Amino acid sequence: MLKELKIDEIYETVITSLENEANGVCKINGMVVFVPKALVGEKVRVRITELKKNFARGKIVEVLESSEKRVTSKCPYYEECGGCNLRHQTKEENLKFKKEKVENALKRIGKIDAKVDDCVPCFKDDHYRNKVSFKVEDDRIGFYAEGTYQLVDTEYCLLAENKINDCLNVIRNYIKSHKNKIKNVTIKHGNALDEVLIDIYSLSNDDMEILDYLTTNIDNLKTVVFNDKVVYGTGYINQISNGLMFLCSSKSFFQVNDVQTEKLYKIALDNAKLKSSDVVLDLYSGTGTISCIISSHVKKVIGIEIVPDAVLNAKENLKINGINNVRFICGDAAKEINKIKEQIDVIIVDPPRHGVDRKTIAIMKKMNPKKIVYISCNPVTMARDLSYLTDLYDVKKVIPVDMFPNTAHTECVTILKIRN
C-alpha cells in the first residue's frame, strides 16, 4: 500500500521531465509532484508544499545529483522571486525546451503533426524588457514570490532595461521616505527617444505628491498616469520597430522585447509571402504595429482592436508614418469581424494569451482567406485554435521565437494555407 504524502515532509526523488511552465515533474509514492527550478535527470530532496487530489507541489531542499545542463543564476532574488523561472538551465537547453513545448502543444492539444523549426534565439538574455509591473507594500517594491502574494523586495530586475531599473531606484527612495498607499507601479521605456512612462495605482489620492518627486529625479520622463488618468505629459511614449515609429500609451499593447520584436515581425512578413494585391485583416491589432509594417507590401489592411487608447495610437501611427492604405476599427473582434464587406485574402491574428474565441474563428473560416498568420505568446491556446482551422487549412510553418529569455514563455509564428 502506497504511503500518503504529507505537507512539509521531505522526500528523495528523481526528476523525469519538465511540464509546460518548466517545473520539474516526478512521482513520489505514486503521486505526480511538480518541483520548480528542477531539471530532468536530477536526483533531489523535495519538501512537499501543497497537496491536491491528483498532484502535489514541492520545493527543492537539496540537489543530490545535478544535471550537466544546470547553471548558476546571476540573479540574487531568483530562488524567491516569481518573475522568471529558467535561469538555472543553459540557454541552449532553454531553446530546446521551448521548441518541444510548441511541439507538445500541437500534438497533444491540437492533434497536429507539424514540423516545428528551432526556436529563434535572442542575442540579449537580460535587460530586454521595455515594460515591467512592480507590486508595492508600504516601503517595499518588487515582485510576488512564486505562487504566493508574499512580496520580494527587489532593488533591480535583470530582465528589465537599465532605464527601468533607474526609475525603480527613484521610486524606491520615495516610498522609503513617504507614507503611501501605492499598490502597483508599471514602468515603460520607449526606445525611439529614450522616454519613460510611469503608471501608478494607489488607494489614496494623497499619493499624487509623488509626481513632483518623479519629474525632479527622472530624466526623459514623458508621461505619468495616476489611477488611470494622465497627470503629466502627453499620455504616450515613442517606440521604433522595423523602421517605423509607434506611439504607445499606458494601456496599449506593445511587444516587451524591442530587439526580438524586429525579428518576430520580419519572420511573420517573410513567411506570409504577401502579394501587392492582398487585402489583409489584422485582428487584435493593438497600436497597429503589424498593420503598419505590412502596409507597404499589400493593397489594403483593416485592423480590429478593442482597447480605445490603442486604436487612437494606431490612427496617429498612420499619420506619423505617412500610411494611407490602413483603417482601424475599435471594437470586439467577434462582433466587428462580421461587418467586414471586403474580400479578405490574408488574416493575421495576434491574440491575448487566452487565444481566439470560437465565434471569431467560425467567421474567419467563412471569410475563406487564402492564408492565416497566427502569432501567439501561448502555444497551448494556439494549438487549440489551430485545431478548429485544420479541417480547411494546412499548417505550413511553425516558428518559435524566444521573446522572453530566461523564462518558460515563448512566442510563435504559424502560417496556415487553405487546402485546395
- Supply the DSSP string of 102-147, one letter for each residue: HHHHHHHTS------PPPBP-S-SSS-BSEEEEEEETTEEEEEBTT
- Residue 298 per-residue DSSP state: S
Q: For residues 20, 26, 29 and 32, what is the CA-based torsion angle, rounded to 10 degrees?
A: 0
The answer to whether 48 touches 33, Cβ cutoff 8 Å, is yes
| 3-class secondary structure, 182 | strand
Q: Does domain 94-124+255-418 have CATH number 3.40.50.150?
A: yes
Q: Is 377 a catalytic residue?
A: yes
Evaluate whether 10-65 and 131-238 have a shared fold.
yes
What is the H or E stretch that residue 95 is in? helix 91-108
Q: Tens digit of pLDDT for each residue in 135-176?
A: 999 999 999 988 788 999 999 999 999 999 999 999 999 999
pLDDT at 1: 43
Q: What are phi and psi of 170, to 5 degrees?
A: -65, -45
Name the pTM for this structure: 0.92
pLDDT at 385: 98
Q: What are phi and psi of 253, to 5 degrees?
A: -80, 135
pLDDT at 193: 94
Q: What are phi and psi of 211, to 5 degrees?
A: -55, -50
Cα–Cα distance, 305 to 333 (Å, whole number): 7
Q: Report the CATH architecture of 10-65.
A: Beta Barrel (2.40)
Catalytic residue among 81, 84, 292, 377, which? 377
pLDDT at 83: 83
Burial class (CB within 10 angstroms; exposed 0-12, middle 13-18, buried 19+) of 161: buried
For the beta sheet containing 221-226, the strands, ordered from the edge strand earlier in sequence to the opposite edge, are 151-153, 140-144, 131-137, 182-190, 195-202, 221-226, 229-233
Confidence class of residue 2 from pLDDT cuts 50, 70 and 90? low
Where in the chain are the domains? Answer: 10-65, 94-124+255-418, 131-238
| 3-class secondary structure, 368 | coil
Q: Tens digit of pLDDT for each residue in 26-43?
A: 999 999 999 999 999 999
Q: CB-based contacts of 201: which residues, under 8 Å, 6+ apart?
A: 182, 183, 184, 185, 227
Q: What is the mean pLDDT of the chain?
A: 95
Q: CB-based contacts of 376: which residues, under 8 Å, 6+ apart?
A: 350, 351, 355, 382, 411, 412, 414
- Which of 2.60.40.3080, 3.40.50.880, 3.40.50.300, 2.40.50.1070 is the CATH number of 131-238? 2.40.50.1070
